[in-house]
Amino acid sequence: MELFMSLAVGILFAVGVYLILSKSLLRIVLGTSLLTHGVHLLLLTMSRLKAGSAPLLGEGAERYTDPLPQALILTSIVISFGVTSLFFVLAYQTYKKLGTDDMEQLRGQEHE
């Protein structure tokens, strides 16, 4: 199972990086969101995948699932949700104001 998860993480990262490297702003935003999905799966996988037992509640438990990664992922999902929506609005505003979504045309240092 860990192997499949690792492959999924790898694919998400590859696709995310590919999209971020493209010129269109919309693809870049989608790329960052795929990248964060990959990282969340990575967090889940790194704590070993175990099924069939509850998170630790008492000290006498023999088998337990580590609850911490899920708390971390939840936090991270909330943050990435907020950031992605901000990024979308930003991209839209940029498109409206500057009339382009091509990163090549957003280069430069000059200040009007």
Partner 1 sequence: MNNLVVLPLLFPLCTAIILFFFKEKIRLQRAIAAAGMGATLLACGLLLTQVLRSGTQTLNMGGWMPPYGIVFVADPFAALLAAAATLVSSFCLLYAFGTVGKERERFYFYPFFHLLLAGVNGSFLTGDLFNLFVCFEVMLISSYALIVLGGTKIQLRETIKYVLVNIISSTLFVAAVAYLYGVAGTLNMADLSVKVAAAGQGGILNVIAVFFLVVFSLKAGLFLFFWLPGSYSAPPMAVAALFGALLTKVGLYALVRTFTLIFPNDPAITHAWIGWMAGATMVLGAAGAMAYRRVLSVLNYNIVISIGFIAFGLAVSNRSSLEGVVFYLLHDMAAKALLFLLAGLILQARGTDQAARLGGLIRSQPWIGWMFFTAALAIAGIPPLSGFGGKLLLVKGGLQGDSFVLTAISLASSLIVLYTLIRLFMDVFFGEPKEEPAAAAAAPMRGHVVLAGALCAIVVLMGFGSEWIYQAASAAAGTLSDPSKYIEAVLKEPV
Which CB atom, from 51 or from 109, has the smaller least distance to partner 1? 109
**Torsions phi, psi of 48, nearest 5?**
65, 130
The C-alpha atoms of residue 71 and residue 65 are separated, in whole angstroms, by 12
Instruction: Specify burial of residue 111 (Cβ count, 10 A radius: 0-12, 13-18, 19+).
Output: exposed
Interface with partner 1, residue 94, by CB under 8 A: yes
Interface with partner 1, residue 5, by CB under 8 A: no
The C-alpha atoms of residue 16 and residue 37 are separated, in whole angstroms, by 9
Interface with partner 1, residue 70, by CB under 8 A: no
Q: Is the distance from CB of 99 to CB of 44 less than 8 angstroms?
A: no
Interface with partner 1, residue 19, by CB under 8 A: no
Residue list 32-61, contact with partner 1 (CB under 8 A): 32, 35-36, 39-40, 42-43, 45-47
The residues binding partner 1 (CB under 8 A) are 20, 25, 28, 32, 35-36, 39-40, 42-43, 45-47, 68-69, 72, 75-76, 79, 82-83, 86-87, 90-91, 93-94, 97-98, 106, 108-109, 111-112
